[in-house]
C-alpha cells in the first residue's frame, strides 16, 4: 500500500515519521509527497504533536531525492503536466516545512540528496551523522538544483553553494554541519537513543530551546576542513559569468588537482543546466524562500515541457545507464543567453504555487 511508504508512530507529544522505501533509497514519489504534505498540514493546524521527527528506513539513506524516473516516464508518455505537478507538490511540501509552527528534527543519516535535502534543510533541526552523504547532483541529469536550493545554497559561506551546485561535490559527515547544511552532528549508532530522548521530552518537545539543548548533549566535537579552500572557491566562483568561472578553473587546472576536478565535474553535466544553476543562485541570493520556490517551479515546468536536457540526462544516467548523454548544447560556451533568460520568465498568476510567508513564523531554512 502507498501509505506503507510513509510510516507514522504516535509517541504522545512527538510524532516519528519514517520514509519507507529502502530499496529505492527512500526516494520520494508522488504518493509520499502527498502523504507528508497532508500530515504536516494537519499537524501545523493542531496542538498535537508538538514535535515531528523524520527519518529514513534502512541502512543506506535518509532520502536520495525525488523519483525523477517516474517524472521522465510521464514526460515520455506525453504527460508532461503530471511531471510538473510532482515538482509543484514537492515544493509546496518544502515551503510548508519552512513555515511549520513546531520543531522538526530530520535524521540525515546516510544518502541525503536532492529531494532529501528538501524535507530536511527547510526544517528547524537537521542532524547529520558520520554516514551522511550530501550532494545536489542535478546537473548530471540535466535538471537544476531545486527544492529551494536557490535560497539555501546561495546563503552558505562565500561561494560554497555555487561550487556545490555546479560541481555536485559530495559532502560527508562533519562537512555537512560545518558548511551550515546541518545543525548538529551525532554518531549514527546513537540515533535511537536521541529519538528516545526526544520522545522523553513529553510536552516540552514543542520548545525549540529544549530540543536544541538535548541534541547538543549528543553532539560530536570533530571538525572538518570543508571551509579550508573557501578563499579559492570565492576567487573562482565569484566571477561575473559562468564562462569566466571556467576560465579561472582552467588557468589553475595544470597545477591544482582541486581545480581540475571541479572543471571536469562541471563539464560532465548539462551545459544548459549549468547556466540555469549559475543564474538561479545569483537571483535567489536576493529573494525570499517563497519567491525562490516560485522561480524554481517555473523552471521545473519548462524543463518538463522540453526545455533543456532533463529527459536525456535521466535516460543516460538512470534508465539506460550508458553515461553518454547527448546534451542539446555540446559546451557551456555554446549556450545562447536568450535561451537561459527564456526559462526564467515568471509564470502567469493562475499557474503559480501561490506561496506566501506567514507573519510570526521564523523561516526555518535561514542559514
Q: What is the pLDDT of residues 30-52, one digit of tens each?
A: 999 999 999 999 999 999 999 99
CATH number of 70's domain: 3.90.226.10
Please state the domain count of the chain.
Answer: 1
pLDDT of residue 349: 86
Q: Is residue 367 part of a domain?
A: no
The pLDDT of residue 202 is above 60 = yes
Report if residue 348 sits inside a domain. no
pLDDT band at 212 (very low <50, low <70, confident <90, very high): very high
Give me the pLDDT at residue 104, please: 98
Catalytic sites, residue numbers: 66, 115, 138, 146
Residue 360 resides in a domain: no
Mean pLDDT across the chain: 96
| Global confidence as pTM | 0.95
* pLDDT at residue 1 greater than cutoff 90: no
pLDDT for residue 363 is more than 90: no
Q: Is the pLDDT of residue 365 over 50?
A: no
Residue 50's domain comprises 2-343
Q: Between 123 and 365, whose confidence is greater? A: 123
Q: What is the mean pLDDT of residues 95-110?
A: 98
Query: Residue 358 has what pLDDT?
Result: 85
In a domain, 177, yes or no: yes
Dump pLDDT digits (tens) for 57-72: 999 999 999 999 999 9
For residue 354, is it within any domain?
no
Percentage of the chain modeled with pLDDT above 90: 94
Contact 26, 56 (CB under 8 A): yes
- What does the pLDDT look like over 221-236, one tens digit per residue? 999 999 999 999 999 9
* Domain membership flag for residue 261: yes
Amino acid at each position: 500500500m502507498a501509505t506503507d511508504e510513509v510510516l507514522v508512530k504516535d509517541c504522545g507529544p512527538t510524532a516519528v515519521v519514517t520514509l519507507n522505501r529502502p530499496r529505492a533509497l527512500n526516494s520520494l514519489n508522488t504518493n509520499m509527497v502527498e502523504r507528508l504534505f497532508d500530515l504536516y498540514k494537519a499537524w501545523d493546524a493542531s496542538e498535537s504533536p508538538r514535535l515531528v521527527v523524520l527519518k529514513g528506513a534502512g541502512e543506506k539513506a535518509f532520502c536520495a531525492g525525488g523519483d525523477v524516473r517516474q517524472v521522465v516516464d510521464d514526460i515520455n508518455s506525453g504527460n508532461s503536466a503530471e511531471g510538473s505537478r510532482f515538482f509543484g507538490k514537492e515544493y509546496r511540501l518544502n515551503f510548508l516545512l519552512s513555515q511549520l509552527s513546531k520543531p522538526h528534527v530530520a535524521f540525515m543519516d546516510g544518502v541525503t540528496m536532492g529531494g532529501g535535502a528538501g524535507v530536511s534543510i527547510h526544517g528547524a533541526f537537521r542532524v547529520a551523522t558520520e554516514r551522511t552523504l550530501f550532494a545536489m547532483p542535478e546537473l548530471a541529469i540535466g535538471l537544476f538544483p531545486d527544492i529551494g536550493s536557490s535560497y539555501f545554497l546561495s546563503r552558505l559561506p562565500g561561494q560554497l553553494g555555487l561550487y556545490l551546485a555546479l560541481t555536485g561535490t559530495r559532502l560527508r559527515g562533519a562537512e555537512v554541519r560545518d558548511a551550515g547544511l546541518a545543525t548538529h552532528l551525532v554518531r549514527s549508532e546513537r540515533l535511537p537513543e536521541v529519538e528516545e530522548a526526544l520522545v522523553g521530552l513529553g510536552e516540552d518537545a514543542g520548545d525549540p530551546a529544549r530540543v536544541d539543548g538535548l541534541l547538543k548533549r549528543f553532539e560530536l566535537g570533530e571538525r572538518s576542513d570543508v571551509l579550508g579552500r573557501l578563499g579559492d572557491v570565492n576567487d573562482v566562483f565569484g566571477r561575473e559569468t559562468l564562462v569566466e568561472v571556467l576560465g579561472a578553473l582552467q588557468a589553475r587546472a595544470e597545477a591544482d588537482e582541486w581545480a581540475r576536478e571541479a572543471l571536469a565535474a562541471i563539464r560532465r553535466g548539462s551545459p544548459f543546466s549549468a547556466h540555469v544553476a549559475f543564474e538561479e543562485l545569483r537571483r535567489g541570493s536576493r529573494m525570499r524562500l517563497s519567491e525562490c520556490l516560485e522561480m524554481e517551479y517555473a523552471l521545473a515546468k519548462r524543463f518538463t515541457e522540453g526545455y533543456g536536457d532533463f529527459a536525456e540526462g535521466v535516460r543516460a544516467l538512470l534508465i539506460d545507464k550508458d553515461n553518454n548523454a547527448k546534451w542539446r548544447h555540446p559546451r557551456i560556451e555554446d549556450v545562447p543567453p536568450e535561451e537561459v533568460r527564456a526559462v526564467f520568465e515568471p509564470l502567469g498568476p493562475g499557474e503559480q504555487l501561490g506561496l506566501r510567508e506567514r507573519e510570526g513564523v521564523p523561516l526555518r531554512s535561514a542559514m
